[in-house]
Structure 1
């Protein structure tokens, strides 16, 4: 028990150093299905010396080079969705939940001799994703923003909203220490926990996930439910799910990314 507590405490210390480090790191919160641009502190006149490295686990210290000296690595499974801006920012199109992780931008005067200019720029990408499931459903899918499930009045539907996040501690510890919260709201922004027809379940521990379960009514056609992430009561990003009937499939519409509050930097 003591070893487990020590490990948890160590994780919190490491996380605190990440969030408050003197060099400064960007934490970008975004919804799946949209595009994102990750900034690099450009120190040279062009981006031919820029390398972007990706990692999604603290155990993989080497990471994967997505961009090497301004050129995309075509051996990665998502190279077609990547591009480099003139300011050396890394663009990722149609973000998926698998894109979450740590991105490091490095610039070199002489790459072969590892003569680096400036300091590393670290960007931690956190992705909010919703996937639906329905009882007695004839088909379902949960791929990015095109998630679909055939539903109709009288069926029970469960929407799972998860924040795919790069952390070294449990979601409980991270959320409670940093003031994050996941919640489901209706079209007017009212927390659905206050409505008895919805069962809201927060799955804590290692996964930052909240589910919404309800039995669909006739009047739910075209109704919107929104999963949103807040940080100290400030909206970071959200995903809207719209119910559609009349023989149509429900479609997880293009997520609404709150770009003006979805990025912040710790110093």
Structure 2
């Protein structure tokens, strides 16, 4: 009986570690697509942001970059796009792939850290066509890959299991395409691929990959195709995210 209780406690401790990380404060996961304005919460902030320090790391093995020190912004490459909210959250204007990674909010008084680290993982959602795509026209086949790019050390299985994250493909009306026989959808570890044969009416049609947590859409990224003029054999692709559909990337 004692052995069973010990095993139960060990399993419970492992689950808590996965949910909270090593800091004792539950880790936060934020997902974005290119061009969005992103806000990262500081879950250990007090009433005065003059004690707040934000650090950034894009890889377990890379150097940690200090973005803010005691409420003051450091002069770094992304200086103009960063700001602190009134609640000491970190705001990133027009976030891009280079911004994904691990962010840590800390509180310091007289050079002594107060409380635990509050860690936020920023993950990047992106949609791209197959690298073998050479021509976009009616009757040709198109394959789109939707990938959730995670910070090193974060497992997709844990996001799915503990955060309830899932990838879905929807049409312009927001209808799930999984049950539409026209589309072949295959999903793996934070990657989902949609394949379909193009029709005449698909010119400028938009397909969207969504990241959902339960019933809430956390982020989305859209892809649309534009057929070439008959005299022009060069395919034209336009990729837009859900927040700025008029921008071409």
Structure 2 length normalisation: TM-score? 0.74
Q: Which runs of 5+ in 1 are unaligned?
A: 1-9, 138-150, 258-267
- Please say if residues 19 and 162 of structure 2, whose CA atoms lie closer than 8 Å, have aligned partners that are also in contact: no
Q: How much does 1:86 deviate?
A: 4.0
Q: Give the aligned partner of residue 219 of structure 1.
A: 201
Residues 1:158 and 1:79: Cα distance change in structure 2 (over 3 Å): farther
Kept in 1, the 8 Å contact 2:144–2:194? The answer is yes
**Aligned mate of 1:163, from 143, 148, 156:** 148
CA gap of 1:254–1:233, structure 2 versus 1, over 3 A, is closer
- CA distance change for structure 1 residues 11 and 30 in 2, over 3 Å: closer, same or farther? farther
Q: Quick check: 1:125 aligned with 2:122?
A: yes
Residues 181 and 231 of structure 1 are in contact (CA less than 8 Å); yes or no, is this contact kept in structure 2? yes
Match of 1:39 among 31, 38, 41: 41
Residue 169 of structure 2 corresponds to 184
Q: Structure 1 pair 24/11, CA: closer, same or farther in 2 (3 Å)?
A: closer
CA distance in 2, matches of 1:92, 1:173: 26
- The reply on whether 1:235 has 2:232 as its aligned counterpart is no
Q: Measure the CA separation in 2 of the matches of 1:16 and 1:230.
A: 19
Q: Aligned-residue CA RMSD in angstroms? A: 3.3
Residue 153 of structure 1, aligned match among 138, 144, 168: 138
DSSP 3-state at the match of 1:243: strand
Return the alpha-carbon distance in structure 1 between the equivalents of residues 21 and 75 of structure 2. Answer: 30
Higher mean displacement: 166-175 or 194-203: 166-175
Secondary structure of 1:219's aligned partner: helix
> Which structure's relative contact order is higher, taking Cα pairs within 8 Å and 6+ residues apart?
1
Is 1:230–1:237's contact at 8 Å kept on the other side of the alignment? yes
Q: TM-score with structure 1 length normalisation?
A: 0.70
Tell whether 2:241 aligns with 1:254. yes
Alpha-carbon distance in 2 for matches of 1:89, 1:105: 9
Deviation of 1:28 after TM superposition, in Å, equals 1.9
Q: Which moved more, 1:128-137 or 1:98-107?
A: 128-137
Change (3 A) 1:117 1:179: closer
Look up the SS of the partner of 1:226 in the other structure. Answer: strand
May I ask how many residue pairs the two structures share in their alignment?
Answer: 226
Q: Distance in 2 between matches of 1:84 and 1:11?
A: 34
8 Å Cα contact 1:15-1:168 kept in structure 2: no
Deviations 1:204-232 (A, max 9, x none): 2xxx1111122322110232211111223
SS at match of 2:241: coil
CA separation of 1:161 and 1:197: change in aligned 2, threshold 3 A:
same
Kindly tell me: are residues 82 and 167 of structure 1, through their superposed partners in 2, closer, same or farther at Cα, counting changes over 3 Å? same
